[in-house]
């Protein structure tokens, strides 16, 4: 049986002896990995993602409750155990209430009281932060 004809460029080699095609693939994979790392791991300062309670203009009677909510949000024992705190204003209050909290409260094993404190903090922070378009 006769050998199959080669496609143009299929037999050429890069300077290191590898075919050009596989060298190109490695470069593309490296560029994609670097871009994904930059976009996926873009860090937001904690004070931006979860503003301190003293910056929210809350009444003195609610400060302790809001501090507890922020602690839950930023704690490595609760919300931040699996991921970095996401900026509160990236999501609408409705999305926090109906989509994020029902799922994440179960995963973080929050008690009803902890969930109330966390929601109070998120809603207060959302109102206090200057309007920024929510992505969801």
Residues 111 and 124 in one domain: yes
Q: State residue 46's pLDDT score.
A: 82
Per the CB < 8 A criterion, the answer to whether 79 and 104 are in contact is yes
**The pTM is what?**
0.65
Residues 76 and 101 in one domain: yes
104 against 21, higher pLDDT: 104
Euclidean distance between CA atoms 81 and 46, whole angstroms: 15
Residues 32 and 50 in one domain: no
Residues 28 and 74 in one domain: no
Residues 69 and 97 in one domain: yes
Q: State residue 29's pLDDT score.
A: 74
Average pLDDT over every residue of 44-52: 84
Separation of CA 92 from chain center? 15
Average pLDDT over every residue of 28-32: 70
Pinpoint the alpha helices (H) of 17-111: 20-40, 46-49, 63-74, 93-95, 101-107
Q: Tell whether 135 is covered by a domain.
A: no
Chain segment 6-27, per-residue pLDDT in tens: 555 555 555 555 555 557 677 7
Q: Is the dihedral of CA 79, 50, 89, 128 positive or negative?
A: positive
pLDDT at 106 exceeding the cut of 80: yes
Q: Tell whether 134 is covered by a domain.
A: no
Residues 122 and 69 in one domain: yes
Could you tell me the residue range of the domain that residue 19 belongs to? 12-42
Euclidean distance between CA atoms 112 and 49, whole angstroms: 23
Per the CB < 8 A criterion, the answer to whether 108 and 69 are in contact is no
Count helices and strands (H / E) in the chain: 6, 0
**Distance spanning both ends of the chain, measured CA to CA:** 61
The first and second tokens of residue 131, run together, are: 């309007």
Q: State residue 49's pLDDT score.
A: 85
Average pLDDT of the chain, as a whole number: 79
Euclidean distance between CA atoms 49 and 89, whole angstroms: 8
Per the CB < 8 A criterion, the answer to whether 72 and 110 are in contact is yes
Number of domains in the chain: 2
Q: State residue 100's pLDDT score.
A: 94
């Amino acid at each position: 049986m006769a050998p199959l004809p080669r496609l143009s460029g299929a037999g050429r080699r890069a300077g290191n002896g590898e075919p050009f095609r596989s060298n190109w693939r490695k470069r593309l994979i490296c560029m994609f990995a670097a871009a994904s790392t930059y976009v996926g791991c873009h860090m937001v300062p904690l004070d931006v993602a979860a503003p301190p309670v003293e910056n929210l203009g809350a009444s003195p009677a609610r400060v302790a409750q809001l501090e507890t909510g922020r602690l839950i949000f930023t704690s490595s024992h609760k919300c931040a155990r699996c991921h970095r705190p996401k900026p509160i204003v990236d999501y609408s209050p409705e999305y926090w209430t109906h989509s994020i909290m029902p799922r994440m409260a179960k995963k973080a094993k929050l008690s009803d009281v902890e969930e109330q404190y966390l929601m109070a903090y998120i809603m207060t922070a959302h109102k206090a932060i200057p309007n920024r378009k929510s992505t969801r």
